[in-house]
Amino acid sequence: MFPEPETRPSLDLKQQISRACGPTVQLVKVDVKSASVIEVQLSAASASDATRAAQSILRIPELNRFRVDVSVQLAPHGSR
């Protein structure tokens, strides 16, 4: 028998996701929905910051085996 593959993201992976977000985006939550789906929730000051962060997250090689759903809440203007 072969061991079951790890399905939960490690703390290191959560830290990688947080670093990929950059300083203008706050990582709110990383949630494992199933063995193949991860949801990442972010708060960003602008749509361009959110887009940059999402693209960086999706380039993390350890996430290739997951479908990554990224949801973003934009901060109101002037709340940087």
From residue 24, how far is each of 34, 35, 49, 62, 78 by CA, in Å?
Answer: 29, 30, 7, 23, 13
pLDDT top residue among 24 and 8: 24
Which residues are bridge partners to 40 per DSSP? 30, 70
pLDDT at 1 over 70: no
- Residue scoring higher pLDDT (10 or 13): 13
What pTM does this model have?
A: 0.76
Q: Give yes or no for residue 77 having a pLDDT over 60.
A: yes
Among the listed residues 80, 75, 38, the one whose alpha carbon sits nearest the alpha carbon of residue 57: 38
CATH class of 11-74: alpha beta
